[in-house]
Structure 1
Amino acid sequence: MKRIIIITLIFCSALNAIAQQAGRVKISFAGFKCLRETADDILHLDGKVDEVFFRFYFTIADANGNTKLKYSNQTDTYGDNYGPFGNRINAGSAVDLFGNLRGGIKGGDNYYCNNIIGEYDLGAGDVLTVVPTIWEWDPGTGYQNSFDASIDGAYSVINQKASALSNQRFGPNGVAGVGGASLLGLFLIDAGSYLSFKAFFAIAGELTPKPRPIGITTNGEYSPKAVLLNANVMQQIASSNFGYGAGVIPVQYNEEALGNTRDHGNYIVLLKVEFTPKPGAVNTPPPPPPPGNSNNTPPPPPAPASGTSGSKNMTGNMRKADKPVTAPSIAGTWAGTYGNGENNNPNYYSFRLNADGTMQVIAANGNVMANGSYTYTANQLTGTYTYTTSGSFSFSALMDTNGALNGTWGSGSNVRGGGRWVMSKK
């Protein structure tokens, strides 16, 4: 009998090991819906009706809640792109007094796209937390830096709570029989209530408009939404339809529902999730927590290194919050093309990425045109270079499954706003 019990336990452990999932997750910005525009300048000096941009924050925790990665991504600004606003992406149906110059976002407008904003490998027991935020654009210095500092300081707590909640809700077999709104309610949560993360902005009494997140209360309290993506339930999420197609997650920020009839913004951000299980591997269950104190509580993870970010003219940028790590595999010469706007061609573009984190921009004849530096972490490449004559530019890219780099470039510290580019290793 004892032998039978032991064999049964071994068999159950083996099943659990097989059930634990690992794989690669790809997150794309699929667009947005405006249900009601925000309060705007009556003269529309910042452009017709609404102009918005999006900031996405990513962090990965292991099964014990330790922070493995943190990263952020900012889009370009969407809305009226006429006149002095030519660096925006045209979106919305607003028109001028003569019925012309279509652009500017108002209630009822939708914008759809499919832009990859994050791609990561998840191990068994890992949880990826995505915090999607939408910001109203206004001239002047906004609240982005203070929000970045707030979320940077909260990542350790966010990951500990996200890991515990995710492990509680999504066992090794996922959540069988649950779909639709019920499944959405399990992984789309309020960060303030479940992850102990809120931010506060001095919105009331502001004399000068500035960029601010949509989804605040009248006193400036902001509790963003968070999406918990545990590898065990990723395939189920990616194949579920929540009203916008397979794997598309709607994240709504409704200020009127928060009692904010002063600013009254109501938007839905659309995120698309795709998941590829790790092939040909039997994943072992996550290890038990390391020894802790007398209450068996594991010691807290080391404080993550903080970073800074900035944006210029409110075009998008990507920001590394953790200490950059240069991966040897990225080193080498890359060549391809770049273009302006949404194009990634036809101009020749080549990088020489050195193993020490320095880089050069190489002309088609092999001459060095610019020097700079780069970082590469979790398939995300960012860098800045300065031409030998004059002018500095920044860039970012994701490495796709074929080993190609697909990226954007911009002036100064902006990694977006100029155009797109693509390169392959020579």
Structure 2
Amino acid sequence: MVSGNFRVTVNGFKVMAETWDDMWEGDGKRDEVQLSTSVTVASARTGDVIYRSQPTSPVLGDTNNQPGRVRAGSASNKGGLRSGDSFPTNTPWIRESLNIGRDWPPCKVWEGTLTQGEDVCLIVPTVWEYDPGQHFLEGWAGWAFDVGTKIRDRLPSLVGPGAQWQVNALSLGLDLAMTIKKVTGASGSRPIGMRPDPKNRDTHVFDPYVLVLNYDTADRIAREEPSGRGRGVLTVRYLESPDLHGDYVLYLQVDRVDNDTRPIRLQSVNYPNRFIQHRNFLAELVEPITDNDRRDNAFVPVPGLSDPAGVSFESVSFPGHYLRHQGFELKLQPRAEDALFMLDTTFREVPGLADPKASSFESVNFPSYFLRHRGFRVYLDPAIDEPLYRQDTTFHRVY
């Protein structure tokens, strides 16, 4: 059976509009929030829950001279989230690194193996307005813990490439995660994204988003650009009823993190019969004719030598030799244990500039410079907003 290893991260969030807060702002200036993500992995075949977790961030916003909080937002010199703020950077959908061992963005919420036709991973990301008082987050923990059990009978329908991957709890057959009366009349932590109950105007309900990952949906998301924000990046928007005001957008990312040692060939999108190949230790765009050509255009993609989130390319015909830019020209050189070599051999793989289903490769030490074929040689060239440039910098991975 086919399996793959995947990682899900919360990269950050943007405050489109602040949520309702009590007038005294006892928790701190403007919004203070916590992120809580429920993760359940279950077997679609047996219905058994294999794994549960619920990573929850510390309070993000105005530190308010309280220990354990993380400064976020621009409302004061101690933080506080207001409309227009983003966290942790102004481009919160871009994950530049990971907070290892920490539960605030950018952070990992799950990493594991999904087997095709077998496993389902249910991820429920939420944002909570933090206020002293009633702590509905505790009730949420109980709801989240039982997610896999509540939809046990529906699990077989959640595997396969046709399964929906972003749904609401109610549409999945789950009950409402939260029902709170008279939210604006009492102080307390509550989920952002509550809407009026159509059956009771004095009641607000919370129907969270659920990300449904099986092998096929996770692999598809990791390879494509579903939100237009980068490969594997998803957006989750929690827009509240007008009386609560809040509007927050979360950015998640799904990556495939297999240790895949299969050799690949980098095929030009505008010269599909030509591949990147080393000749006399220089990289060229060549149409393979001989067996030697087919060996010399094969490379093993490995975790980036300077950044494991990137990629480096080791030659199949010359093991221990890597593609490296030097003098803005791509060459094949033996590995050297120095920082510059590590940087020059590491690239960020991004959705293809000419075709998002293909790939382009951006230098880690020369941002906005991409591998480009020109005159059938391969160079590191600065980005230009021209169709020919986008085609020349886009390649298909061929196994």
Q: For the superposition of Structure 1 and Structure 2, which TM-score range results when normalised by the shorter chain?
A: 0.5 to 0.7
Aligned to 1:274: 255
How does the TM-score come out when normalised to structure 1? 0.52
Aligned to 1:238: 222
Change (3 A) 1:278 1:162: farther
Q: 1:66 aligns with which of 45, 48, 52?
A: 48
Q: Does 1:252 align with 2:233?
A: no
Q: 2:182 aligns with which of 191, 199, 204?
A: 204
Tell me how far apart the structure 2 counterparts of residues 211 and 159 of structure 1 sit (CA, whole Å): 30
* Alignment map for 1:308-323 (pairs within 5 Å): none
Deviations 1:113-132 (A, max 9, x none): 42112211222321111011
SS in 2 for 1:262: coil
Q: 1:36 aligns with which of 12, 17, 23?
A: 17
Aligned to 2:31: 50
Change (3 A) 1:31 1:205: closer
Aligned to 1:90: 71
* Alignment map for 1:3-402 (pairs within 5 Å): 21-64=2-45, 65-83=47-65, 85-95=66-76, 101-112=77-88, 113-125=105-117, 126-167=119-160, 169-170=162-163, 186-204=164-182, 207-218=185-196, 219-241=203-225, 242-255=227-240, 260-277=241-258
SS in 1 for 2:138: helix
Amino acid in the other structure paired with 2:64: Y
Tell me how far apart the structure 1 counterparts of residues 208 and 155 of structure 2 sit (CA, whole Å): 14
Contact 1:51–1:136 under 8 Å retained in 2: yes
Contact 1:57–1:71 under 8 Å retained in 2: yes
Deviations 1:348-397 (A, max 9, x none): xxxxxxxxxxxxxxxxxxxxxxxxxxxxxxxxxxxxxxxxxxxxxxxxxx
SS in 1 for 2:142: helix
1:270, CA displacement in angstroms? 1.2
SS in 2 for 1:251: strand
1:158, CA displacement in angstroms? 2.9
Higher percent of residues as strand: 2
Contact 1:22–1:277 under 8 Å retained in 2: no
SS in 2 for 1:122: strand
When Rg is computed on C-alpha atoms for both structures, the one with the higher figure is 2
Higher percent of residues as helix: 1
Give ranges in structure 2 of 5+ residues lacking alignment: 89-104, 197-202, 263-399
How does the TM-score come out when normalised to structure 2? 0.55
Contact 1:59–1:129 under 8 Å retained in 2: yes
Tell me how far apart the structure 1 counterparts of residues 60 and 4 of structure 2 sit (CA, whole Å): 33
Contact 2:35–2:57 under 8 Å retained in 1: yes
Contact 1:60–1:159 under 8 Å retained in 2: no
Deviations 1:221-247 (A, max 9, x none): 111100011112323211222132221
Aligned to 1:369: none
1:248, CA displacement in angstroms? 1.5
Tell me how far apart the structure 2 counterparts of residues 159 and 41 of structure 1 sit (CA, whole Å): 40
Amino acid in the other structure paired with 1:52: V
Deviations 1:192-242 (A, max 9, x none): 112323123333167531101111123221111000111123232112221
SS in 2 for 1:215: coil
SS in 2 for 1:73: coil
Amino acid in the other structure paired with 2:168: D
Tell me how far apart the structure 2 counterparts of residues 208 and 36 of structure 1 sit (CA, whole Å): 21
Question: How many residue pairs get matched?
Answer: 237
Change (3 A) 1:128 1:53: same
Contact 1:135–1:212 under 8 Å retained in 2: yes
Deviations 1:313-350 (A, max 9, x none): xxxxxxxxxxxxxxxxxxxxxxxxxxxxxxxxxxxxxx
Deviations 1:295-321 (A, max 9, x none): xxxxxxxxxxxxxxxxxxxxxxxxxxx
SS in 2 for 1:238: helix
SS in 1 for 2:106: strand
Tell me how far apart the structure 2 counterparts of residues 87 and 62 of structure 1 sit (CA, whole Å): 37
Tell me how far apart the structure 2 counterparts of residues 123 and 159 of structure 1 sit (CA, whole Å): 18
SS in 1 for 2:257: strand
Change (3 A) 1:205 1:193: same
Contact 2:20–2:184 under 8 Å retained in 1: no
Contact 1:63–1:163 under 8 Å retained in 2: yes
Q: Tell me the C-alpha RMSD between the 2 structures.
A: 2.3
Specify which structure has the bigger relative contact order, considering alpha-carbon pairs within 8 angstroms and separated by 6 or more residues.
1
The alignment-based identity, stated in percent, is 29
Amino acid in the other structure paired with 2:6: V
1:24, CA displacement in angstroms? 1.3
Aligned to 1:302: none
Aligned to 1:374: none
SS in 2 for 1:74: coil
Change (3 A) 1:52 1:26: same
Deviations 1:242-298 (A, max 9, x none): 13222121111101xxxx2111211011111111347589xxxxxxxxxxxxxxxxx
Give ranges in structure 1 of 5+ residues lacking alignment: 1-16, 96-100, 171-185, 282-426
Change (3 A) 1:228 1:277: same
Contact 1:129–1:162 under 8 Å retained in 2: no
Aligned to 1:410: none
Amino acid in the other structure paired with 1:117: V
Contact 2:161–2:217 under 8 Å retained in 1: no
